[in-house]
A and B are shown apart, each in its own frame.
Chain A
Amino acid sequence: MSGRRPAADARLTVDWTACEGRGVCAELLPEVLTTDPWGYPLPAGPGPDGTPRPWPRRDGLPVAPASVADARRAVRMCPRLALRLEEDARRRA
């Protein structure tokens, strides 16, 4: 995918059956992801009452336009090809 495509409303999903928790994604995308105690990706930033931010299972994790290029890179670099970025230009209109 071209990195020059206009940044749109993008959402990150993980194939949890494939992910092995090496944490490459969190290193490449620190503004969006951190890791849990086992190394699996977790939404960055504090959630309610200091608990982890829940992962939005239904729609995927929103990625801000400024982070979309990094997110595309994380998708390419994931050693297990477990990440998917859904970019939907229509949602912007």
Chain B
Amino acid sequence: MTLLPPAPAPTGALLLLPTPAPRLADHVARLGPVPLPAADAVLDVVRAGGLRGRGGAWRSTAAKMDAVRARAARARAARPGRAPLVAANAAEGEPASGKDAALATASPHLVLDGLQLAARAVGAEHAVVHGHPGPALDALAAAAAERAPHDPVPVRLVAVPRAYVAGQETAVARAAEGGPALPRPRPRDGAPAEVAGAPALVLNVETLARLALTVRGLPAPGPLVTVSAPDLPPRALELRPGARVRDALAAADADLPGRTRAVLVGGYAGTWLTADAALDRELSPEGLAPVGASPGAGVLLAATTGTCVLATTAAVVRYLADSSARQCGPCWRGLPHLAGLVEELAAGRGGPEGLARLREAVGLVVGRGACAHPDGAASTVASALAAVPDDVAAHLAGRCAEVRP
């Protein structure tokens, strides 16, 4: 996708998306130099601040740091000299997301402050910035060069081709070793990714920027989101704390909430909600959990009046099928099969029998891949069927009530 210019301020001063992007001297003048306390002190602040991963998983950053520290202690005992690696993950393969690129372009020094702090927390001796070639990576590279004389831990750039799964944690680790940016299996979900036998702490760029603000004792910024609609290209926005889905849509386009029928929340691998269910929910894991969704990486894709939710879903699942890293059979065979069945339904073909085969195809991909890519596609399809049952019924009868009345 195209990289986005930082969006204009919806409210007040923006902490994550300042314009223009500050150079190091302005950054330090504005926020002060990054404090680099001892490892345990960084961890205490992270824990107290309740920092969670903004790449989409919302895992506790403190828990992730703890896991890397524990694994690093074991790795060192086995082979002395093996220090963990930290990675700033700027790979944003999600086509409907642009917030990481906007953030990295607007606040590269904040991200790199966070990277140094993360390195401090786990005792890392080297760091990488992982991302796709483009303005965001260029901004991070220029910032890293500018501050290299002051940064205690050296930072290396790893540019990888744009791909949906290139930002998976194990793909970041693999690329850092010089391999392809593709996921690899790990013994258990939640175990740290590894680079050459040492654990790697991989944190999304927004998580790192928030870490740098938290350690400075600054208030936590509100959600950073990317909003798009059929007639609205993806737009990155920093919202006020406590913002609801409605606020995010309205910040992108004032009358978008009024003409939205349903929202795909969390991205291509997300959850469809009707406008009624979604609009007044707070944009947080807690706010969205009661309706079975998560903000994921802060992606909101609105299906507006006159848009077929099932056709949109078909396009999304086809995209996910084409994005399979083709390493795992149930993923590269199962996702195209699933996409074909959603396309049949969206076209008003297939009938009840096709719908039964579609439900079966969803079950066939769940949990069956080295990464959660197939599960994401399953979630999007299952939630579409649940959110718009009337549309499904109309399509079974061979017509789309929304587009072809």
Picked from A14, A37, A54, the residue with its CB within 8 Å of the CB of B366 is: A54
Interface size for A (C-beta < 8 A) is 24
- A77 CB to closest chain B CB (Å) equals 18
What sequence of 0s and 1s flags, for each residue 63-77 of chain A, a beta carbon within 8 Å of any chain B beta carbon? 000000000000000
Question: Is the Cβ of B370 less than 8 Å from the Cβ of A16?
Answer: yes
| A39 contact set on B, CB distance < 8 A | 329
What sequence of 0s and 1s flags, for each residue 220-244 of chain B, a beta carbon within 8 Å of any chain A beta carbon? 0000000000000000000000000
What sequence of 0s and 1s flags, for each residue 30-65 of chain A, a beta carbon within 8 Å of any chain B beta carbon? 000000111110100001011111111110000000
Tell me whether A27 is interfacial, beta carbon within 8 Å. Answer: no
Task: For chain B, residues 305 to 351, give those with C-beta under 8 angstroms from any C-beta of chain A.
Answer: 327-331, 333-334, 337
Q: How far is the CA of A21 from the CA of B330 in the complex (A)?
A: 9
The residue in B184, B327, B366 that gathers the most chain A C-beta atoms within 10 A of its C-beta is B366
Question: Is the Cβ of B185 less than 8 Å from the Cβ of A17?
Answer: yes
| A40 contact set on B, CB distance < 8 A | 329-330, 333, 368
- A78 CB to closest chain B CB (Å) equals 14
Question: Is the Cβ of B363 less than 8 Å from the Cβ of A16?
Answer: no
Question: Is the Cβ of B184 less than 8 Å from the Cβ of A17?
Answer: yes
| A36 contact set on B, CB distance < 8 A | 330, 334, 364
| B362 contact set on A, CB distance < 8 A | 51
Picked from A37, A38, A47, A57, the residue with its CB within 8 Å of the CB of B363 is: A47
- A81 CB to closest chain B CB (Å) equals 12
Question: Is the Cβ of B359 less than 8 Å from the Cβ of A16?
Answer: no
Task: For chain B, residues 92 to 114, give those with C-beta under 8 angstroms from any C-beta of chain A.
Answer: none
What sequence of 0s and 1s flags, for each residue 369-380 of chain B, a beta carbon within 8 Å of any chain A beta carbon? 110100100000
Q: How far is the CA of A44 from the CA of B24 in the complex (A)?
A: 59
Tell me whether B367 is interfacial, beta carbon within 8 Å. Answer: yes
Q: How far is the CA of A19 from the CA of B328 in the complex (A)?
A: 7
Contact A16 to B329, CB < 8 A, known contacts A36-B364, A51-B360, A52-B364: yes
| B329 contact set on A, CB distance < 8 A | 16, 19-21, 38-40
Tell me whether B255 is interfacial, beta carbon within 8 Å. Answer: no
Look across to chain A and name the residue whose beta carbon is closest to the beta carbon of B375: A57
Look across to chain A and name the residue whose beta carbon is closest to the beta carbon of B330: A40
Look across to chain B and name the residue whose beta carbon is closest to the beta carbon of A18: B185
Question: Is the Cβ of B368 less than 8 Å from the Cβ of A51?
Answer: no
Question: Is the Cβ of A55 less than 8 Å from the Cβ of B327?
Answer: no
Give the contact-size bracket for chain B.
20 to 34
| A14 contact set on B, CB distance < 8 A | 368
Contact A58 to B189, CB < 8 A, known contacts A17-B327, A36-B334: yes
| A47 contact set on B, CB distance < 8 A | 363
Question: Is the Cβ of A51 less than 8 Å from the Cβ of B359?
Answer: yes
Question: Is the Cβ of A57 less than 8 Å from the Cβ of B330?
Answer: no
Question: Is the Cβ of A17 less than 8 Å from the Cβ of B359?
Answer: no
The residue in A20, A38, A47, A57 that gathers the most chain B C-beta atoms within 10 A of its C-beta is A57
- A86 CB to closest chain B CB (Å) equals 9
Q: How far is the CA of A57 from the CA of B375 in the complex (A)?
A: 9
Question: Is the Cβ of B368 less than 8 Å from the Cβ of A57?
Answer: yes
Contact A17 to B370, CB < 8 A, known contacts A49-B359, A51-B360, A57-B189: yes
Question: Is the Cβ of B375 less than 8 Å from the Cβ of A16?
Answer: no
The residue in A15, A36, A47 that gathers the most chain B C-beta atoms within 10 A of its C-beta is A36
| B363 contact set on A, CB distance < 8 A | 47, 51-54
Q: How far is the CA of A51 from the CA of B188 in the complex (A)?
A: 26
Question: Is the Cβ of A56 less than 8 Å from the Cβ of B360?
Answer: no
Look across to chain A and name the residue whose beta carbon is closest to the beta carbon of B183: A17
Question: Is the Cβ of A16 less than 8 Å from the Cβ of B334?
Answer: no
A residues with a Cβ closer than 8 A to B are 14-17, 19-21, 36-40, 42, 47, 49-58
B residues with a Cβ closer than 8 A to A are 184-185, 188-189, 327-331, 333-334, 337, 356, 359-360, 362-364, 366-370, 372, 375
- In the assembled complex, 21 residue pairs joining A and B whose CB atoms fall closer than 8 Å, in A order, are A16-B327, A16-B330, A17-B184, A17-B185, A17-B327, A17-B328, A17-B370, A20-B329, A21-B329, A36-B330, A36-B334, A37-B337, A37-B364, A38-B334, A40-B329, A47-B363, A51-B359, A51-B360, A51-B362, A52-B364, A55-B367
Closest 10 CB pairs of A and B: A16-B328, A55-B367, A57-B367, A52-B363, A51-B363, A54-B366, A17-B327, A38-B333, A40-B329, A58-B189
Beyond the given A16-B331, A17-B370, A21-B329, please list 13 additional residue pairs across the A-B interface where CB-CB is below 8 A. A16-B327, A16-B328, A16-B329, A16-B368, A17-B327, A17-B328, A19-B328, A37-B364, A40-B329, A40-B330, A42-B364, A47-B363, A58-B367
